[in-house]
Amino acid sequence: MSRVTDERGRTSTLARWRITTRTWAAEMLGPRAHVTPLEPGWAPPVVLLWAAGRMINLVLLAVAFAVAKVAGWTFGPEGRPVTGFLDFLSGWDADRYGTIASQGYPVVLPLAADGTIDLNNWAFLPVFPFLERVLANATGVPWQLAGVLISLGASCAASLVLYALLRNVTTVRSAWWALVLFSLGPLSFVFVLGYAESLFLLLIFGALLLAVRRRYLLIAPLGIVAAFTRPGALALALALGILLLGRWMLRGEDPLPRSEVVGLVVSGVATAAAGLMWPVIAATVTGEPGAYVQTEMAWWQPFLGQGPLLPIAPGIAMGWTWLGPLGVVIVLALVGGVLRWIASRPVRALGLEIVGFAVSYTLYLFAVFLPTQSIARLVLPLSPLLADRRLSRTRRRRLWSIAVSLALQAAAVFLLWTLGNP
């Protein structure tokens, strides 16, 4: 009797899970209320907002630069004195990209005093420095300016694509205010630095827009390029798998043509394969198995000390290292809080394409990244979630959102750029 009861209980639980999953899929893939077509002339206001955001970024960075000059602060990983403003916009990781653009990647990996692989440029992917080199060679501008120009152009295009994406899934007001927060957010200053974030966002937002419009096969080239621009493309591959599962569950009500199945499978597999290739390339060029992972671990040592890579555990390991059990609880609570936000009804209203990617990317960050100061910019691909209507429901909330964003941006410019690395 007990075994029969247990089997019935498991069957009942599985049935409820299937019903809930199908209900959510139908909700997120169904018709979207209050969505209107993009009107003629929608792009210029977006570009004006983008330009305003970049002017604010540059003003805050110029103030930070002036203070650093007067105070005689050193800057960047080498601890060099601050020189020109263009160099100030091209420090930290941007300086690494510049080195790759001019010298390529090391064939022989540097070793630390204890014999482990030391910090080196294999931690940085090649698309952005390649574009820097092409632009610098074609125009004669220094690589620093080339990097800033690429970042500016990509951030403008990313703003346009993000707005178009959100206008396909939500109301005009929610889409516009999401763009406002994206343009003025705490880490928006990276859009005027020689960093790869802007380009990666453009590729991810473009892939999601194609997914919403069901142009699945066209996602493949964007996913492949994204995989060699910034870590994170594997989350896009998983999101496409989630989308295929959702479409398959509803194929009776919403036909799923074979061409769309092929598009999702090809784009997902191609993106996943590209996302796994860089460690293979690093190992092949250097002759060192695990070259990429060991290089990443060199950055982890100040936070975790010596030790093997623990998949799906670096955040937990760091929490335990610094705060013991409380640190683990904090890390799990943060991840759980984000996932709960994503699962909330206002966010689910943005559709399975955005929700699936948000879940995938959150789990990806949890699996492979440490919750260090860099996490603030690593969450930028989750920007479509800013279209949560609760953030712009009232005038007071909108004003507070802008005020908090600008205050945090000023703090981030000083703490995460001028005094420390983002």
Residue pLDDT, tens place only, 110-167: 998 888 889 999 999 999 999 999 999 999 999 999 999 999 999 999 999 999 999 9
Band of pLDDT at residue 422, cut at 50, 70 and 90: confident
- 351 φψ region: left (φ > 0), alpha (ψ -120 to 50), beta (else): left
DSSP reduced 3-state for 119: coil
Separation CA 271–CA 203 (nearest Å): 12
Contact 45, 163 (CB under 8 A): no
Rounded to 10 degrees, the C-alpha dihedral 328/332/333/339 comes to: 170
Angle of the 127-139 helix axis to the 197-212 helix axis, nearest 10? 110
pLDDT over 70 at 1, yes or no: no
Residue 29, by phi and psi: left (phi above 0), alpha (psi -120 to 50) or beta? Answer: alpha
What is the CA angle 158-164-168, rounded to 5?
Answer: 140
Is the pLDDT score of 8 beyond 80? no
C-alpha to C-alpha distance for 279 and 322, rounded to whole angstroms: 29
Residue 311: pLDDT band by 50, 70, 90 thresholds?
Answer: low
- Judged against a pLDDT cut of 60, whether residue 5 lies above it is answered with no
The rounded percent of the chain whose pLDDT value lies above 70 is: 95
Count other C-beta atoms under 10 Å from residue 279's C-beta.
18
Average pLDDT over residues 193-202: 97
Per residue in 28-47, pLDDT (tens digit) is 888 887 888 899 999 999 99
Strands 74-75 and 80-81: what pairing? antiparallel
Cα within 13 Å of Cα(276), Cβ side:
6
Residue 81 belongs to what H/E stretch? strand 80-81
Please, is 348 exposed, middle or buried when counting C-beta atoms within 10 Å of its C-beta (0-12, 13-18, 19+)? middle
Q: What are phi and psi of 80, to 5 degrees?
A: -85, 155
Q: What angle do CA 34, 39, 41 make, to 5 degrees?
A: 145
Mean pLDDT of the 235-264 span: 96
CA distances from 369 to 232, 265, 373 (A): 10, 27, 11
- CB-neighbour burial class of residue 309 (10 A; exposed 0-12, middle 13-18, buried 19+): middle
Per-residue pLDDT of 45-100, as tens digits, reads 999 999 999 999 999 999 999 999 888 888 877 777 778 999 999 989 999 999 99
Q: How far is CA 201 from CA 162, 206, 377, 384, 421, in A?
A: 9, 8, 11, 11, 20
The domain ranges of the chain are 40-301+388-418
pLDDT-derived band at 307, boundaries 50, 70, 90:
low
Under 8 Å between Cβ of 167 and 209? no
For residue 163, which of 214, 131, 206 has the smallest C-alpha distance?
206
pLDDT tier at 308 (50, 70, 90 boundaries)? low
More confident residue, 3 or 357: 357
How far apart are alpha carbons 212 and 231 in whole angstroms?
23
Angle at the Cα of 217 (from 238 to 273), degrees rounded to 5?
Answer: 45
User: What is residue 75's DSSP assignment?
Assistant: E
**77-81: long-range contacts at Cβ-Cβ below 8 A with a sequence spacing of 24 or more?**
77/421
- pLDDT tens profile 346-403: 999 999 999 999 999 999 999 988 888 888 899 999 999 999 999 998 999 999 999 9
| 4 vs 287, more confident | 287
Average pLDDT of the chain to the nearest whole number: 92
Amino acid 121 reads N
Lowest model confidence (mean pLDDT) among 175-179, 207-211, 374-378:
374-378
Task: Work out the pLDDT band at 309, boundaries 50, 70, 90.
Answer: low
What is the pLDDT confidence band of residue 318, given thresholds at 50, 70 and 90? confident
Q: Residue 6's pLDDT band (boundaries 50, 70, 90)? A: low
Answer whether residue 10 shows pLDDT above 80. no
Question: CB of 25 within 8 A of CB of 249?
Answer: yes
Confidence of residue 299 (pLDDT cuts 50, 70, 90): confident
Report, as an integer, the average pLDDT of 243-247: 96
Spatial distance between the Cα atoms of 114 and 118, rounded to a whole number of angstroms: 9
